[in-house]
Structure 1
Amino acid sequence: MKTPRGPRVVTGTVLRTPGDRHSLRLHGRTVVVTLALLTALVVVMGITLTTGDFQLSVGEVLQALTGNGSGAADFIVNTLRMPRLVTALCVGAALAVSGAILQSLTRNALGSPDIIGFTNGSATGALLVIVVLNGSMTQVAVGALAGGIVTALVVYLLVFGGGSPGFRLVVMGIGVSALLIAVNTYLMTRANWQEALEAQAWLLGTLGNRTWDHAAAIGLATAVLLPVAFLLGRRLTMVEMGDATATALGVNVGRTRVALLFTSVALAAFATAVTGPIMFVALAAPQLARTLIRSSGPGLVPAALMGALLLAVSDLLVQRLFSPALLPVGAGTGTIGGLYLIWLLVTESRKSRA
């Protein structure tokens, strides 16, 4: 399933640094969409922090955030709601940018870390720590990170040796993902009931009981990796044009592809290590962002904002609509993402027949 690539029209305003050493092209529609997504994020954050079993006003939330709130408001905002919200925003952005990079590299709408096995590799690493090593939650996170990176390395070694790298990455990734699902199922059957409950809770993907430690971990990861991804965004756009064109424009295609793939895998692995596998955000967010900005380029910044918004909205809905039940956010994103995937497959099928 190829991601549509129309003619590339270069428009917009170019900002240049003194000496013309660096430049930034701003497209009017992209700027408008970015501002709209930022506004929507602010609204969702306000609703998340003010609503719930304990209602707060905007003023009370602001006072709590600045350290001047009452004891109850301070506990609810700074201990319960804010760490969970920050974790959701960072994980959503990380997954979306990871998916956007992979979809651009593979030129395929299904090229996302949860489809081609990287997320399942993280799950395998976490399950090995839970079932075999009886590790702590910190060790589970490290195992998830290592599992995602090892899986990506295996897929990379299997893929980049001939044929179309993008097509081979998707096909090989789906095969590796199926194998890892079988391994994960086997590990679950070998676990005792307590280990199985712990593993199942992690595999569902949840933002419940997230503390500032979780928020700080994923916040630091995104603070380092997202700027790297954004800086590589221009090269990614050139690679989308084809290896020959990118090389003619001065891009080292091999090194650029490796750097982008590593960045994508690291973003997905860190996100999965913090929350468990949250499905379909990496698949849907980049596609929705592309649709809004109407650009043939990867649009990493709008994709990051869209991912943060999708996960924050999904978590808000599962908290408010199903309260007092503790429904994991993975159930919400799985439902939304499943419907989106069906729509995407039907749409692409109709296009191929036209």
Structure 2
Amino acid sequence: MFQRASSRSASRAATASATAPADANATREAVLSASVGADGTATQRASRRVRRVLAGLIAAVIVLFIARVVLGDPVVYLDQLWLILTGETVPGLSFIVTEHRGPAAVVGALAGAALGLSGTIFQTLLRNPLASPDVIGVGYGAATAAVAGMLALGITGPALSLFAFAGGLVVALFVYFMAESGKNTGGRFILIGIGAAAMLQAVMNYLLTRTDVRAAGDALHWLVGSLSSSTWDRAAVLAACLVVLAPLTALAVSKLRILELGDDAATSLGLNVRGTRAALVVLGVALSACTIAVTGPLAFVAFLAGPLARLLTHRTNFVASALVGAALVLAADFAGANLFGDVTLPAGVITGALGAPFLLWLLVRSNKQGMGG
């Protein structure tokens, strides 16, 4: 009897030991499938959110574009706008729509999109929300070269874009190679860029004081950042830049994602870190410089677009950044043209007024997080 009980206990133990791994594997598979399912659900939810945000931003840009064209003094009603767009002449309105408001709206949308892409490239590349062309000297380099071209050589049109691109590129490469010489590349890039911007601002002021008063006045008006001088030719210059640079940005996004993992991880994945970073800097400079050559420096648009897009989508999204930039410039130009009575303010004044408080808030927020860490 004792032997029979012992054999029954042994058989139970053997059965339990045989079924334990199966139960553990089943439990592990259940946990893994649940976690995968939760991750998949979260990813789908995030993707739906991004799609909704992008749809809302597209609608906002379209509404702001139409408002910039039809609202003002005089108001252009939608039936009149349709007649103008179909080629009919509406006395007193056709010229306003086709030669003034239309080009301004197109240039504003294109300029905002280019600046949004440029700012997001620099901010993602340097992993710092302060790293925009406005802050790190690239904008001042492009503006100084453009002012020198306008005042000293009388350059206009596409040649001015080349001058601005060259100035911004020289400054960006100077700051880049200076920052690469030590640790904490992102922080050094910003600090050296701020110093370069201060020197370039002094050079620009010197050029303005040494030239004819009328020419200096035109340059100062341009330096504020205005869409009032927009033409279809200038819109074509910006459109050509974006036709080339936007696809290059789309191709560069995958490289930028790898760089976000850190230099060591990117190198282990076979990426040429220094070459890729330099190429991205050139791309960001080109987007910013082409815009500055056409509109002047629209303050803080490149700085604002990326962080605002991240607040909306909870991730870095270049399409959202471009749409936010376009919406910012169109809204600023509309506000400057219509909300201050008889006074017309350039778009750059409005964007500067919006960007300065945001910069202060960002600095205070970063300081509190640093202290907390």
Q: TM-score, normalised by structure 1?
A: 0.88
- Match of 2:22? none
- Match of 1:34? 54
Are 2:338 and 2:344, in contact at CA under 8 Å, matched by a contact in 1? no
- Match of 1:338? 356
| C-alpha deviation, 1:229, in angstroms | 0.7
Deviations 1:304-327 (A, max 9, x none): 000000111000000001243232
The share of aligned pairs that are identical, in percent, is 38
Are 2:108 and 2:329, in contact at CA under 8 Å, matched by a contact in 1? yes
Structure number with bigger Rg: 2
| C-alpha deviation, 1:138, in angstroms | 5.7
Matched, 1:257 2:277: yes
Are 2:132 and 2:302, in contact at CA under 8 Å, matched by a contact in 1? yes
- Match of 1:279? 299
Cα distance in 1, alignment partners of residues 288 and 150 from structure 2: 20
Change (3 A) 1:149 1:89: same
Structure 1's consecutive aligned runs of 4 or more residues displaced over 6 angstroms after TM superposition are: none
Cα distance in 1, alignment partners of residues 132 and 232 from structure 2: 28
- Match of 2:105? 85
Cα distance in 2, alignment partners of residues 162 and 349 from structure 1: 23
Q: What one-letter code is carried by the residue in structure 2 that aligns with 1:321?
A: L
| C-alpha deviation, 1:136, in angstroms | 4.4
| C-alpha deviation, 1:68, in angstroms | 3.9
- Ranges in structure 1 where 5+ consecutive residues have no aligned partner: 1-8, 14-25
Match of 1:318 among 332, 336, 361: 336
Change (3 A) 1:139 1:198: farther
Are 2:117 and 2:302, in contact at CA under 8 Å, matched by a contact in 1? yes
Matched, 1:115 2:135: yes
Are 1:95 and 1:282, in contact at CA under 8 Å, matched by a contact in 2? yes
Q: What pairs with 1:178-217 in structure 2 (closer than 5 Å)?
A: 178-217=198-237
Change (3 A) 1:138 1:195: farther
Matched, 1:247 2:254: no
Match of 2:322 among 299, 304, 316: 304
Match of 2:115 among 95, 110, 122: 95
Are 1:65 and 1:77, in contact at CA under 8 Å, matched by a contact in 2? no
Cα distance in 2, alignment partners of residues 280 and 291 from structure 1: 17
- Match of 2:82? 62
Of 308-317 and 196-205, more deviation after overlay is shown by 196-205
| C-alpha deviation, 1:67, in angstroms | 2.1
Q: What one-letter code is carried by the residue in structure 2 that aligns with 1:330?
A: G
The structure whose residues are more often helix, as a share, is: 2
Change (3 A) 1:136 1:247: closer
SS in 2 for 1:109: coil
Cα distance in 2, alignment partners of residues 62 and 247 from structure 1: 56
Match of 2:163 among 129, 143, 150: 143
Aligned residues: 333
Are 2:144 and 2:204, in contact at CA under 8 Å, matched by a contact in 1? yes
Are 1:116 and 1:172, in contact at CA under 8 Å, matched by a contact in 2? yes
Are 1:129 and 1:140, in contact at CA under 8 Å, matched by a contact in 2? yes
Q: What one-letter code is carried by the residue in structure 2 that aligns with 1:95?
A: L
SS in 2 for 1:322: coil
| C-alpha deviation, 1:347, in angstroms | 1.7
- Match of 2:248? 228
| C-alpha deviation, 1:63, in angstroms | 3.0
Cα distance in 1, alignment partners of residues 255 and 329 from structure 2: 28
Deviations 1:175-208 (A, max 9, x none): 1111111111221221231222122111111100
| C-alpha deviation, 1:80, in angstroms | 1.3
SS in 2 for 1:27: helix
Cα distance in 2, alignment partners of residues 247 and 27 from structure 1: 29
Matched, 1:347 2:365: yes
| C-alpha deviation, 1:72, in angstroms | 3.7
SS in 1 for 2:123: helix
SS in 1 for 2:284: helix
